[in-house]
Structure 1
């Protein structure tokens, strides 16, 4: 299966030359931050990864080198692309597979701390990240299902707050960077834990503000620009704080705040551009929910 076949919307094909021209100019001006930020702020969410994939693959030759390496696709470059909705992070986005820092870290975690590649499992991937899809589909031991509200490459289209799936049907569920978007957080968590088998686990990563003690939410804030000001992004409805683990907790669920990154060699953290090794925070931890 080629997830990129027939997926680029018509407007990308029509304006492909203009996009390439703009990107080439940005490279000359050393201003890829502006291009990436433009995509993040103006491209509809369901098309965003496809547009960025199209754009970055047209210019990745300019980043060839061997200073950094992507743990997901194994490609190496002189540096990664900048990325960020409001504040751009340097050396963040792999121009080949679109893996970000958290994706490269998570891939290492799955390889080194779990056995999902070693035994037969059923895996539900909610809001699937493009960088992971092909790699998971190639695993013969994994019964892999992707699900999303509107993603064109999701096997199932659903609302995570009310999933038409049987109880305890998956050994592993992964849902990253979606809990800050859902209207009813309690329902979303209950549904994720409901479809998880006993003894199974879920990985639930979300953006966390390490300067905020408790999660901030205000249902009266509905204007996109106000949401960006309060929650960091126009389509966010809450901002998680240092209490994230307790927010995830429910009866029969054990939450593990795994500081896996702190066990890695400094050179490895730098090589894979996982984070600033001198400034690790809760944002760099892996949150695992285990069903007892």
Structure 2
């Protein structure tokens, strides 16, 4: 039925995957780089397969919403919007079926976004990345609270941006900070701009937003470990990228992972064009007095206690981060609640202290 309604290769491919992914329960299914252990019992193995199916259907819905490339193949559909809603309804029927099956196997409840939010009926929230409207965002995973308890982490960390109760979009998965970046980019960049954009440690939701909103950009991705990026590089040594060749970069929640954050920022300044800009954001503890860092620390428990995550080697204070930005030779524009506006912040689930640091070259 879907193929009859929509002639769109990406969507057709996703639907094909959904229908055929796990017919053979012996196949190992990888979900975002994670493969289930080969010794899992058959029910659990099949459950992983179903998770993969549900994920693909959700991505299918998101892709359909974002791309909007529709063809009216039947006269019964008066408008593209009618076809769009009918096709989403069919996708949701598939999703309902798979979720019910998964809930029976795992004995749990799975929450999916309401169809009314996806097809654009009125709601209290509106994601800046995908444009979907719904009642609430999805809370932050309990994993972080569990790890904090397990590793005896103090509760004095006060995040500048993370909204634990309204963290991610139920449709495209965009985190609160990514929704803030989308707002910034729409305010700072012309829709028809011909720019070279570099996204470091990219997210699918923000990448889709950039390519859809700015069709003339040359969008490139970079990461040292992530598969499928354009540049597999260390941010501290980006020799493959020429001086002044990037017009806009996104470097979000990366610097707290690298051994020398100043060297990384010097590299970002080197590749940025004279009139270029960049989003430079790290997790900031508003209660911190200075920067606590220790690249030699390898104990995961100690990292949780000092840096609030097992793969972080640095905890930033706001003043300390701004000082380092200036030392790296950047000017910085602080995009805060006055920049966003109260209504936009509310619709995107941003907390009052949310701030995006927009940097440019200081040529003095």
Tell me if 1:266 matches 2:362: no
TM-score, normalization by structure 2: 0.63
Are the equivalent residues in 1 in contact too, given 2:113–2:170 (CA < 8 A)?
Answer: yes
120, 130, 142: which one aligns with 1:73: 130
299, 302, 324: which one aligns with 1:247: 324
| Secondary structure of residue in 2 paired with 1:257 | strand
Deviation at 1:26, TM superposition (A): 4.7
Deviation at 1:256, TM superposition (A): 2.5
Residue by residue over 1:62-115, the C-alpha shift from the partner in whole angstroms, topping out at 9 and shown as x without a partner, is 895722221110112221111155248112211211112111122112112x12
| Secondary structure of residue in 1 paired with 2:318 | coil
Are the equivalent residues in 2 in contact too, given 1:172–1:201 (CA < 8 A)?
Answer: yes
| Secondary structure of residue in 2 paired with 1:133 | helix
Deviation at 1:18, TM superposition (A): 6.5
Residue in 2 that maps onto 1:60:
113
Between structure 1 and structure 2, the one with the greater Rg is 2
| Counterpart Cα distance in 2 of 1:190 and 1:22 | 50
Tell me if 1:290 matches 2:348: no
Alpha carbons of structure 1 residues 116 and 189: separation in structure 2 relative to 1, 3 Å: farther
Deviation at 1:199, TM superposition (A): 1.9
Are the equivalent residues in 1 in contact too, given 2:138–2:165 (CA < 8 A)?
Answer: yes
Name stretches of at least 5 consecutive residues in structure 1 with no aligned partner: 29-55
RMSD across aligned C-alpha pairs, in angstroms? 3.0
Residue in 1 that maps onto 2:304:
228
Alignment of 1:1-292 (within 5 A): 8=31, 9=33, 11=35, 15-17=48-50, 21=102, 26-27=108-109, 59-61=112-114, 64=117, 66-84=123-141, 86-87=144-145, 89-112=164-187, 114-138=188-212, 139-163=214-238, 164-243=240-319, 244-250=321-327, 252-259=329-336, 261-275=337-351, 280-281=352-353, 284-291=354-361, 292=363
Are the equivalent residues in 1 in contact too, given 2:262–2:324 (CA < 8 A)?
Answer: no
Name stretches of at least 5 consecutive residues in structure 2 with no aligned partner: 1-8, 18-29, 37-44, 53-98, 146-162
Residue by residue over 1:175-233, the C-alpha shift from the partner in whole angstroms, topping out at 9 and shown as x without a partner, is 10101111111221111111111121111011100001211112342211210111000
Q: How many matched pairs?
A: 255
Alpha carbons of structure 1 residues 109 and 26: separation in structure 2 relative to 1, 3 Å: farther
Are the equivalent residues in 1 in contact too, given 2:114–2:134 (CA < 8 A)?
Answer: no
| Secondary structure of residue in 2 paired with 1:213 | coil
Are the equivalent residues in 2 in contact too, given 1:117–1:142 (CA < 8 A)?
Answer: no
| Counterpart Cα distance in 2 of 1:211 and 1:197 | 35
Residue by residue over 1:33-76, the C-alpha shift from the partner in whole angstroms, topping out at 9 and shown as x without a partner, is xxxxxxxxxxxxxxxxxxxxxxx8xx224895722221110112
Are the equivalent residues in 1 in contact too, given 2:194–2:217 (CA < 8 A)?
Answer: yes
Are the equivalent residues in 2 in contact too, given 1:122–1:142 (CA < 8 A)?
Answer: yes
The answer to which of 176-185 and 118-127 deviates more is 118-127
